[in-house]
Amino acid sequence: MNRLSLITSNPGKLREFKAALQPLGFEVVHLPEEVDEIQADTPEEVVLGCLKELKDRNLHNFVLDDSGLFIDALHGFPGVYSAYVLRTLGCEGILKMMDEVDDRSARFKCTIGADIDGIGAFTVSAETEGRILHVKRGKDGFGYDPIFVPNGFQQTFAEMPLEEKNGISHRGKAIKRLTSHLMDAEGKKG
């Protein structure tokens, strides 16, 4: 089994990575490494900054991600500041900001960065379009999951079983791209 170290302070992300990658033959272990997230406009820029910092520390064989909720009516807010906004305002604060807003369209974006021996550093990205509800629903998931319904579904991410969420979420899609990239690289080595 291939082993990947995940750099995160979010236990929900660790659960999602493990659930998605373990059936594909990857053991995911937590690497409690601190990294400074640069101030940027996109998750891609944040991840590239983190990759550079970690590479400068001579770390390798790791993955990390940056994700955000981008709400159209709020001009992409909270975006790359999603974790901070969640800690300070919570889902309730976002719902209050959108109290009189008709356009509820939003998207989750995720960029995964990796630095793997024999492959090098790379990123993959994905997003999931959806809408923001008027009230929280569901007990599972984490973050903004209780207020986000992906397009084509009636349930919030917080109402879905983890396997279903991983199949359609921004992070789940990005993990599939990560896995595909790793498998392609293994095939080229073999």
Find tokens 């209050």 and name the residue: 96
The model carries a pTM of 0.89
pLDDT of 78-109, one tens digit each?
999 999 999 999 999 999 999 999 999 999 99
CATH number of the domain at 2-189, out of 3.60.15.10, 3.90.950.10, 3.40.1350.10, 3.40.640.10?
Answer: 3.90.950.10
Structural domain boundaries of the chain?
2-189
Is 117 a residue of the active site?
A: no
| DSSP per position, 81-113 | THHHHHHHTHHHHHHHHTTT-S--EEEEEEEEE
Tell me the average pLDDT of the chain. 91
Among the listed residues 36, 56, 65, 66, the single catalytic one is 66
